[in-house]
Structure formats: structure tokens, C-alpha cells
Structure 1
């Protein structure tokens, strides 16, 4: 008697599919990688910095752009996008943001044409504050 399973018998191991969080992360990485330079590099560095400043954050595509929230179903708080050759970093209305001194304005968006260490340090600070 043969002890091998026939091809008609069901297998006990399910085909491994990436979980939704893993797929969301891959979608964000793919989105950024598809941008032209220098924006792909800027986006990759922003992505790494945001996740480093908020290691529990969950990235996902939000309105066609990389967005970051505390869970897959929580509101996005930090995002960035590339539109018509303009890279912007933004905070949604759900972010914790202090008003600018002497005004009623709340900072919520910045444009980037390049990236450097002081800018990444500021992004880290914004992310930590936005999710506090």
C-alpha cells in the first residue's frame, strides 16, 4: 500500500497569503518605488523615518498616497504624496498639533524638494507629536 496522498485529497496546510498589514506595507513600498527620482528616494526616507519615529504605526494607501495610523482601521494621521512634481508631507485633522505661536493656524503640510538630516529630525518630531 502506498502512503502518499493523492492529488484529490485536501491538504491540511493552507496556502500562505500575506496578512492584510503585510500587504498594506508592501503596497506603500511599491507606491513609493514607482515614483520618479528624486521623489522615490525622498519618499523611502520619509517612510523609514515615520516608521522609526512611530514603530507601532501601520502604513497603508490612503486616498492614493502613503498614510500612517495606529491600526489598520484607525484614522490616518500622517501622510505624504506626490502630485504634479510636488512632494508634500501632511498631518490630518486627527493629528495632535499645537497652534503656531501668536496665530490661530495649525501647521498641517510641508513641501519637499530634497531631504536632509535636519528635515528628517523634524519629521520624526512631527510624527511623535502627531500621535501623542
Structure 2
């Protein structure tokens, strides 16, 4: 983010424009690119429908995923923003708090994520707010998940 760009709880106008441009580029690539563009649009549309607190978190998660793991493909999964690997398997997803009336949103990882650590490891994380420490941890998890 540049010095002149105002930080908000959600996507900036520049970020929104860049995502729309990326979707258009994907559609221009043909059938495979169009499928990716459709998935991206579905995720962006779903995020836009969320209540404000969930939307702000989902937008930040989306940016963290696309920054840390640009090879993951966005799509919706059970109505949630999710990101798949090259095999089409869900690696990471965001579940808004409002979906099941929870007091927190969750960031979850499926079995395609490379987070294994012995016989027991966490695969779902509660998200209540977004800050630099949360972003750093989320990026670390995503990078580990796709390693």
C-alpha cells in the first residue's frame, strides 16, 4: 500500500480495480482462464454480501491468500470463499461468523494443506480482528500450507 493510499477495513478502490482487471485478464486467456475468473468473481461477490465485520476480515484474508499463494485459485465452497490447489482441492477457506451465528469468523485448512505436525495439529483458527500480527501469522500458515 502506498503512502497516499488510505487504509480501510476493506478493499481500497485500487485493490478493487486491480481484482477486476485480473478477472478480465483471466477471461481473455480462454476457457481455463474464464473458469478462474468466474471463481474469483464468485468469491468477490460472496465477500461483498457479508456483514461489515465479516466482510472486512474476508477481504484481508483474500488479499493475504492471493499475496502469499498466488497459484491458489479462488472459488466458493459451501458458499464460503475458498482457495484450491492445481488439483482443484481446497487448501484454505474463510467462514464468516454470521454463517452459523458464531462469535468469530474462522480461517480453515483442508487436508490438501501441508500443515502436518506429528499426530495432532490445528487446522481451523478463530478470527476476531485483523492487525499486523494476525496478518503475519495468516501469511505464514498459507505459505506453509502450499509448501
TM-score, with length taken from structure 1: 0.78
Deviation at 1:38, TM superposition (A): 1.2
Higher relative contact order (CA 8 A, sep 6+): 1
Deviations 1:61-92 (A, max 9, x none): 01221111123x52011111112143100010
Distance 2:105 2:135 in 1: 14
How many residues are treated as equivalent by the alignment?
A: 113
TM-score, with length taken from structure 2: 0.70
Deviation at 1:39, TM superposition (A): 1.0
1:7 is matched with: none
1:33 matches 2:48: yes
Map 1:13-92; keep pairs closer than 5 Å: 19-71=34-86, 74-82=88-96, 83=99, 84-85=101-102, 86-92=104-110
Structure with more of its chain in helix, by fraction: 2
List alignment gaps of at least 5 residues for structure 2: 1-29
Runs of 4+ in 1 over 3 A off after TM superposition: none
- Give secondary structure in 2 for the equivalent of 1:110: strand
